[in-house]
Amino acid sequence: MSRIKTFNLPDLGEGLTEGEILAWLVKVGDDIELNQPIVEVETAKAAVEIPAKWAGRVQAIFHPEGTTVEVGSPIISIDTDPNAGPIEQSTTGAPAADLPTPSAASLAAVEVAPEEGMVEPGLIGGVAPGGRTAVLVGYGPRNAPAKRRPRKGGVPAQATTAPAAPVQAAPAPAPVVPAPALNGNGRPAGGPVLAKPPVRKLAKDLGVDLATLTGSGPLGSITREDVQRAASAPAAAEPLTVAAPVTAAASFGADREQRIPVKGVRKLTAENMSRSAFTAPHVTEFLTVDMTRAMKALDRLRERREWRDVRVSPLLLVAKAVLLAVKRHPMVNSTWAGDEIVVKDYVNLGIAAATERGLIVPNIKDAGRLSLRGLADAMTDLVQTAKAGKTSPADMSGGTLTITNVGVFGVDTGTPILPPGESAILAFGAVRELPWVHKGKVKPRLVTTLGLSFDHRIIDGELGSKFLRDIGDFLADPEAALLAWT
């Protein structure tokens, strides 16, 4: 068995087909241990560190950082017995039978640098641009000069060879050209002014005549400094005139555009949102809620000794309200499966999180089983892991219902799009102090607006309205709702 092992990019879950190499954590020649992280790969769902399958010494790295690699393509080779001496030619040559065969696409992406002993450029089989060898599939390189096929009726091929001793004609005497007259700025009179387009635009904006300047740039070209120096110089003894303000001309084009590749998390989000928006018929309802009592309850909770080191936020109460409302309306926690509806007795509660790589929705598995303290800890871990970019694909799979907290951006609410496979998503808006009728009088109260989007194939208007109303009732008076529902 060969001591050189080739490690292929594995399937990191949920049928992912490719990943981008973010960073290599090892380099060629490094000694590595079993399960040591060797590379950080960004998939369509998360950034993941991949561990080594074998201990040994890094023999080769096949793809640089920033390369998108298909699942199953070789990314690194490892010498599993580096102390056994030099590697034999047969070991480093053709792949051994026990090694996986790389795909044609991955082989085509590998550029081989020219080595000593390789044929020279210009020969058939020589190095082509980019370092590849220009040969046809199934044919080896020919170490022979390339010959051009003679044209019909043209000069024979022998005529293309240069004569051994070409006869050089006597050079004709150069014509005498009179030197052009120069103006006071060192340029030919009436000649063009050398200046780049940005410099010309600057001169136009500042009202500077380029023809009056002496350029300090290459070949006497006029630079920005020349224009700015002329604009700031005191004017000559001429009548002072106030120039009308110059409005810059509209400028638009490719030089003022930015092109961002769509890949990774953003690519997956775009595909999921497009598929969901045009598959599930969305309906969105809104409810404005007085959360004053809920906010006071949170203050009392923070004061308790066992909660002083726990992150307590209004989102915690929203999550608890959703979980209790699902128990009262289990049909909301379901999936459309073509000819049947799958109602789930567990809630994998998704919390949308904005990260540097884009929007991700990790979920808390079976969140309904957790106490309020357990739910608070799980939400804190989920958000911190997402912000650090360490969320695993498993944590973003299998969600059944989602909350998106748009209130952290100062937004009142929104019309969220359903994650694929889910039937409901709740938008939680900012909590603001607003005038509110309370006990017959207008008073300042802490108010928020909820937005619930749901799949109308599963959830009709009555069910969606009752589910949203129960969430609002809990947030309006959480203590009374807990007593009434549990």
Tokens linked to 391? 């969320």
Helix (H) or strand (E) holding 21: strand 18-24
Q: How far apart are CA 136 and CA 140, in angstroms?
A: 8
User: What is residue 393's DSSP assignment?
Assistant: G
Helix (H) or strand (E) holding 276: helix 264-277
Q: What share of the chain is helix, strand, coil (3-state, %, to 5)?
A: 30, 20, 50
Looking at the DSSP bridge assignments, the partners of residue 436 are 443
Measuring CA to CA, how many Å separate 424 from each of 8, 184, 473? 38, 79, 18
Helix (H) or strand (E) holding 430: none
Phi, psi of 40 (to 5 degrees): -105, 120
329 is catalytic: no
Beta strands in 296-414 (DSSP E): 334-336, 341-343, 349-351, 353-355, 358-360, 363-364, 401-404
Q: How far apart are CA 329 and CA 317, in angstroms?
A: 18
Contacting residues for 118 by C-beta, under 8 A, at least 6 apart: 126, 127, 133
Contacting residues for 258 by C-beta, under 8 A, at least 6 apart: none
Asked if residue 396 lies in contact with residue 362, where contact means CB atoms within 8 angstroms, the answer is yes
Tell me which residue of 409, 311, 271 sits closest to 352, measured CA to CA: 409
Q: Which amino acid is at 47?
A: A
User: What is residue 303's DSSP assignment?
Assistant: H
Phi, psi of 260 (to 5 degrees): -110, 120
Looking at the DSSP bridge assignments, the partners of residue 47 are 42
User: What is residue 225's DSSP assignment?
Assistant: H
Q: How far apart are CA 242 and CA 245, in angstroms?
A: 9
**Assign residue 408 a region: left if phi > 0, alpha if psi is -120 to 50, beta otherwise?**
alpha
Coil, strand, or helix at residue 40? strand
Contacting residues for 249 by C-beta, under 8 A, at least 6 apart: none
Q: Which of 282, 329, 438, 456 is an active site residue? A: 456
Tell me which residue of 446, 411, 449 sits closest to 291, measured CA to CA: 446
Active-site positions read 456
